[in-house]
């Protein structure tokens, strides 16, 4: 079982409009709702890749009930969310059908009480003991300690369970110091963590801060991975255009899948890039077409970084 942690879950709502214009009224052509937050997107993709997944985090209020009702219909994902008094947030994605661009609006999460955080820690400790790997994903809702991910990393490591961290800002800085097995920042998050805007230098700096493997997401330029075994650049065979929402979460799912399947790093990265690119081509976050993924997987380009362009 792979455990995903989404402390700031969301109900993702996607609106599609013919053309998005400021200061104008729009007729919505399609509305799609999905359980969201980074870790739930990861869980959905992992399940589609054939893994057993348990999803934990927080859910509350009317929005939280709707999220859990929809999560119950997600094959392969077990709901282990901890109930809270506050209302789960919503995220709104508006897709411009003319340009393919997406505008994102993110609500703040509910305030988590100390007793709710303690209840989560108890549940998390029980779940980790039977996990093959753990993903800690996304922002922290109000009330959760800024060092929360560092604490969760240490718990997983004490249980001998590999852990991947995907967050930003101070929670990332503190979490890296707890020595996670993998961190997956994007270029901006990596620069904020290390102060360096040169990706290779920044990934090396992040490793020195405690991460065993750093996989930097560079958008259209693919993934850059650095660890004790070497460094690699993995890119899709051609530029992929579509809805990038959730593409990073799909990359995390690919990385976790490769981790539990004990793939060598080049194959590991190819899986992450292929499923991420396939997600860009899908209409909503956390979904991908299996045939598209398999076709891309055969064509992903993985090279040692010093041989890459």
Q: How far apart are CA 55 and CA 292, in angstroms?
A: 26
If one compares 75 and 290, the residue with the highest pLDDT of the two is: 75
| Average pLDDT value for the chain | 91
pLDDT of 66: 96
Supply the DSSP symbol for 306.
G
pLDDT single digits (tens) 86-128: 999 999 989 898 987 888 899 989 999 999 999 999 999 999 9
Q: Which of 73, 188, 249, 261 is catalytic?
A: 249
Confirm whether 188 is a catalytic residue. Answer: no
Q: pTM of this prediction?
A: 0.90
Any idea what the Cα angle at residue 122 is, between residues 61 and 119, rounded to 5°?
Answer: 30
Assess whether pLDDT exceeds 50 at residue 238: yes
Q: How far apart are CA 231 and CA 305, in angstroms?
A: 6
Pairing of strands 82-84, 53-60: parallel
Q: Are 207 and 181 in contact (CB under 8 A)?
A: no
Encoded tokens for 246 = 């959730």
pLDDT single digits (tens) 62-85: 999 999 999 999 999 999 999 999
Q: How confident is the model at residue 308 (pLDDT cuts 50, 70, 90)?
A: very low
Assess whether pLDDT exceeds 80 at residue 22: yes
Assess whether pLDDT exceeds 90 at residue 240: no
Q: How far apart are CA 308 and CA 301, in angstroms?
A: 10
Q: Are 271 and 263 in contact (CB under 8 A)?
A: yes
- Reduced to 3 states (helix: H, G, I; strand: E, B; else coil), residue 106 is strand
Assess whether pLDDT exceeds 70 at residue 60: yes
Assess whether pLDDT exceeds 60 at residue 307: no
């Amino acid at each position: 079982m792979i455990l995903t942690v989404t402390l700031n879950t969301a109900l993702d709502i996607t609106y599609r409009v013919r053309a998005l214009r400021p200061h104008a009224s729009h007729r919505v052509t399609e509305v799609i709702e999905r359980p969201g937050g980074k870790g739930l997107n990861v869980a959905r993709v992992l399940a589609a890749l054939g893994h057993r997944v348990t999803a934990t985090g927080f859910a509350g209020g009317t929005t939280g009930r709707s999220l859990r009702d929809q999560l119950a219909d997600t094959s392969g994902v077990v709901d282990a969310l901890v109930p809270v008094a506050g209302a789960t947030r919503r995220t709104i994605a508006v897709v411009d059908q003319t340009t393919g661009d997406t505008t994102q609006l993110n609500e703040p999460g509910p305030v988590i009480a100390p007793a709710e955080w303690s209840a989560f820690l108890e549940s998390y400790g029980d779940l980790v003991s039977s996990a093959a790997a753990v993903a800690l994903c996304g922002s922290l809702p109000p009330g959760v300690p800024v060092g929360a991910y560092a604490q969760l990393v240490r718990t997983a490591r004490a249980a001998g369970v590999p852990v991947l961290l995907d967050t930003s800002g101070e929670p990332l800085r503190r979490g890296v110091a707890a020595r996670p097995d993998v961190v997956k920042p994007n270029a901006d998050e990596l620069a904020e963590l290390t102060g360096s805007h040169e990706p290779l230098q920044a990934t090396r700096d992040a490793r020195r801060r405690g991460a065993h493997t750093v996989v930097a997401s560079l958008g259209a330029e693919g993934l850059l991975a650095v660890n004790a075994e070497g460094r690699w650049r993995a890119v899709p065979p051609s530029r992929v255009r579509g809805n990038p929402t959730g593409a990073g979460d799909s990359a995390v799912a690919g990385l976790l899948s490769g981790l539990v399947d004990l793939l060598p790093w080049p194959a590991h990265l190819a899986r992450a890039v292929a499923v991420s690119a396939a997600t860009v081509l899908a209409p909503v976050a956390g979904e991908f077409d299996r045939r598209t993924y398999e076709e891309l997987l055969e064509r992903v380009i993985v090279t040692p970084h010093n041989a890459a362009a």
